[in-house]
Amino acid sequence: VTGTEALGIDIGGTKLAAGRVDADGTVLARARRDTPASDAGAIVAAVADLVDDLGGAELPVGVGAAGLVGPDGEVRYAPNLALTGVPLRRQLADRLGSRVVVDNDANVAAWGEFRCGAARDAGASMVMLTIGTGVGGGLVLDGRLVRGAGGLAAEFGHMVVSAGGPRCGCGNLGCLEALASGTAIGRTAAAAVAAGRVPAGSSLHDLPALTGKSVTTAAEAGDEAALAVLAEVGRWLGVGIASLVNALDPEVVVIGGGAMQAGELLLAPARAAAEEHLLGRLHRALPPVVPAELGDDAGVVGAALLALAA
């Protein structure tokens, strides 16, 4: 069996998702558990339980963890997990007795989309943006995941696109994440309401909370003000995409994350704005900007494929 299957484990702030995955990226079996909040030992034990659940005792294990992961598989910093400073790869390898690789969760998800998802036919390079509460990123160049000198590459949400603009969760002003995220959809809608730019009949006035999800649902029902909010946020996403394409010239741009519930309502204005900001647009085309395909499986699939390739 070794060499044709692996386990992929996605360690998030609230849940552990695991899957037994073959070399084509097909998920053959799934398991999940809540993420222990207590300590690293409990997380390692829960991962070992998941390996048992999936009958994967002899298989290589790939892990994606929500945090900063060094090239040695040590978790340097994890704001939402009890793993800061933990040599997770070594602890898991000792516990499981099998080959283990550990990487950042956004990196493994990007690898899943690159190998088996939206970028599988793209060639050798991909920029991925994950638009959720925040903005995550993943980068593949020359067929390889770019991790950066300290494991911190691809934090595309914190490129400054509007210096002096709205406050980002990171503390700075005008980051892409502050303008093109699920959070930004809610904030942009609230600003439109506060500025009196939302007509009386709009459902935005009636929503209990203005969030990425509620505004998107209103837009899908045809609310013009909600559509305008998604178009504005989509255009900011497009500015970020253009900056990345000008800097990296990838073969494809993949957009995932919860905000992609809005689909083309975000992507169409994003593509239009990206084309306007593309350097040399008379001499080249914007690469395809496409939705992610693997959804919640991206991390599990990518982690397993990284383990198989290790």
Candidates 3, 34, 38, 163; binder of a second copy (CB under 8 A) is 163
Helix, coil or strand: residue 135: strand
By the rule CB under 8 A, 121 interacts with a second copy: no
By the rule CB under 8 A, 172 interacts with a second copy: yes
CB of 76 vs a second copy, minimal distance in Å: 7
All residues at 6 or more sequence positions from 222 whose CB lies less than 8 Å from its CB, including other chains: none
| Segment (H or E) for 41 | helix 40-53
Residue 163, class by beta-carbon neighbours within 10 Å (0-12 exposed, 13-18 middle, 19+ buried)? exposed
By the rule CB under 8 A, 38 interacts with a second copy: no
By the rule CB under 8 A, 310 interacts with a second copy: no
By the rule CB under 8 A, 194 interacts with a second copy: no
The structure tokens 């070399």 sit at: 23
By the rule CB under 8 A, 164 interacts with a second copy: yes
- Which residue lies nearer to a second copy by CB, 98 or 130? 130
Token digits for 97?
Answer: 């007795």
Q: How far apart are CA 289 and CA 174, in angstroms?
A: 23
Helix, coil or strand: residue 127: strand
By the rule CB under 8 A, 91 interacts with a second copy: no
- Which residue lies nearer to a second copy by CB, 21 or 118? 118
The DSSP bridge partners found for residue 290 are 254
- Which residue lies nearer to a second copy by CB, 94 or 276? 276
Candidates 32, 48, 49, 77; binder of a second copy (CB under 8 A) is 77
Cβ atoms of residues 27 and 20 within 8 Å: yes
By the rule CB under 8 A, 191 interacts with a second copy: no
Q: How far apart are CA 108 and CA 12, in angstroms?
A: 12
Candidates 22, 93, 95, 162; binder of a second copy (CB under 8 A) is 162
Based on C-alpha coordinates, what's the Rg of the chain? 20
By the rule CB under 8 A, 183 interacts with a second copy: no
Q: How far apart are CA 127 and CA 289, in angstroms?
A: 9
Candidates 22, 251, 293, 296; binder of a second copy (CB under 8 A) is 251
Stretch that binds a second copy, among 36-44, 120-128, 196-204, 257-265 (CB under 8 A): 120-128
Nearest C-alpha neighbor of 165 from the set 155, 156, 175, 157:
175
Candidates 29, 152, 268, 272; binder of a second copy (CB under 8 A) is 152
Footprint of a second copy on this chain (CB under 8 A)? Answer: 68, 76-77, 123-125, 137, 139, 141-142, 144, 146-156, 158-165, 170, 172, 236, 239, 242-244, 246-251, 276-277, 279-280, 283-284, 287
